[in-house]
């Protein structure tokens, strides 16, 4: 069987398990669902949030700010909601990007496997490190990466980022990097901008990063989502709405991404990386009035 087909089947299987577990939990908690949140607000916000997520903008961060502002979910249930709400939309993104965007199979499998493994066994490598130091170093690194991309766009530096696969030492660096990104997810550092910056820095097309980062998240969010459902620590109504209307936003977003040229994607990549780096540095240097949270993804 084609390895790409196997990846697609595994994504479907993992997410089918999540859907089954969510459906069972939903059936047993209909009363709570009826009293939780505004229907129109959730429908519109779900579509918008995951439209933006399809471009690599972290839905954890956007959702957290919005849900807290509108008091749609308690802080206790926020982490679980952020994980369960994105399972189906991310799966749709992963299946769409993997089946329609060309990327080297060995590169795809290596990166996805590395990040998934890192998400589960990697925390042991970072548990003894200071989160402030990690975030500060990564924030500065992303800022430099964004500046290099912008400098290349203006002709001050050579513009790279056109390859569809990696080999040798570059593939090894990508694998180790995504393993670490999976581990860093557990302390609140999102993997989208890190993956984009790393793969582009290694010479890959910015478009090629989408099936890789979405594919990895399709596995990890399904498994973590099931655990939150098991403990009942999530919003069932938000999860239902994002699983339906969020998919609408994703469908529009992925269509636009596939139609964009590489030059525009490079500008989008630079903007996302710059936003993330500044947000992380603001948080660590404690400029409270400007603080923007970065969450795992």
| Chain segment 33-75, per-residue pLDDT in tens | 666 667 888 899 999 999 988 887 778 778 877 887 888 888 7
Say which DSSP state 204 is in.
Answer: B
Average pLDDT value over all residues in the chain: 81
d(CA 290, CA 297) in angstroms, rounded, equals 22
Nearest to 211 by CA among 201, 221, 199, 203: 199
What would the pLDDT profile of 116-156 be if each residue is shown by its tens digit?
888 777 656 655 666 677 777 777 877 877 787 787 777 76
Q: Which of the four pLDDT bands, split at 50, 70 and 90, describes residue 110? A: very high
The runs of H, that is alpha helices, within the chain are 3-27, 30-34, 39-53, 59-69, 78-85, 87-100, 105-121, 123-126, 131-153, 168-184, 192-201, 209-231, 236-259, 262-284
Span 61-90, average pLDDT: 84
Q: Is 282 helix (H, G, I), strand (E, B) or coil?
A: helix
Span 69-93, average pLDDT: 86
pLDDT on residue 37: 60
Is the pLDDT confidence value at 81 over 60?
Answer: yes
Say which DSSP state 46 is in.
Answer: H
Q: Is 292 helix (H, G, I), strand (E, B) or coil?
A: coil
First to last CA, the chain: 30
Cross-strand pairs, 204:
163
What would the pLDDT profile of 188-201 be if each residue is shown by its tens digit?
566 777 888 888 88
Share of the chain above pLDDT 70, in %: 84
Rounded to two decimals, what is the model's pTM? 0.77
pLDDT on residue 296: 46
Q: Which long-range contacts (CB under 8 A, 24 or more apart) does 15-22 make?
A: 15/87, 15/88, 15/91, 15/218, 15/222, 17/222, 17/226, 18/84, 18/87, 18/88, 18/222, 18/225, 18/226, 18/229, 19/88, 21/226, 21/229, 21/230, 22/84, 22/225, 22/229, 22/236, 22/239, 22/243
Where residue 207 falls (left for φ over 0; alpha for ψ -120 to 50; beta otherwise) is: alpha
For residues 100 and 241, the answer to whether their CB atoms sit within 8 Å is no
Q: Which of the four pLDDT bands, split at 50, 70 and 90, describes residue 223? A: confident
For residues 233 and 76, the answer to whether their CB atoms sit within 8 Å is yes
Where residue 185 falls (left for φ over 0; alpha for ψ -120 to 50; beta otherwise) is: alpha
Is the pLDDT confidence value at 102 over 70?
Answer: yes
Measured CA angle at 97 (ends 94, 98), to 5 deg: 75
Rounded to the nearest 10 degrees, the angle between the axes of helix 236-259 and helix 39-53 is: 40
Is the pLDDT confidence value at 167 over 90?
Answer: yes
Q: Which residue has the tokens 């240097």?
A: 285
Is the pLDDT confidence value at 205 over 50?
Answer: yes
């Amino acid at each position: 069987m084609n390895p790409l087909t196997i990846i697609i089947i595994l994504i479907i299987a993992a997410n089918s398990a999540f859907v089954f577990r969510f459906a069972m939990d939903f059936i047993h908690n209909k009363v709570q669902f009826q009293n939780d949140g505004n229907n129109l607000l959730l429908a519109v916000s779900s579509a918008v949030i995951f439209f933006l997520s399809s471009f690599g903008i972290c839905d954890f961060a956007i959702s957290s700010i919005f849900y807290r502002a509108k008091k749609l979910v308690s802080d206790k249930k926020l982490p679980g909601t952020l994980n369960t709400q994105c399972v189906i939309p991310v799966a749709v993104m992963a299946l769409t990007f993997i089946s329609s965007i060309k990327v080297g199979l060995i590169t795809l499998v290596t990166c996805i496997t590395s990040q998934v493994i890192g998400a589960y066994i990697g925390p042991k490598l970072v548990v003894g490190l200071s989160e402030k130091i990690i975030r500060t170093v990564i924030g500065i690194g992303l800022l430099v990466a964004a500046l290099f991309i912008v400098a290349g766009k203006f002709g001050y530096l050579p513009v790279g980022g056109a390859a569809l696969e990696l080999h040798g030492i570059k593939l090894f660096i990508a694998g180790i990097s995504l393993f670490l990104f999976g581990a860093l997810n557990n302390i609140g550092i999102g993997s989208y901008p890190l993956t984009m910056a790393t793969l582009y820095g290694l010479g890959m097309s910015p478009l090629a990063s989408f099936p890789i980062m979405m594919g990895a998240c399709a596995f990890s969010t399904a498994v973590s989502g099931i655990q939150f459902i098991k403990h009942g620590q999530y919003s069932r109504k938000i999860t239902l709405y994002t699983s339906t209307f969020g998919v609408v936003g994703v469908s529009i977003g992925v269509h636009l991404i596939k139609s964009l040229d590489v030059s525009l994607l490079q500008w989008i990549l630079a903007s996302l990386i710059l936003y993330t780096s500044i947000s992380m540095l603001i948080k660590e240097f404690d400029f409270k009035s400007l603080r923007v949270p970065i969450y795992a993804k």
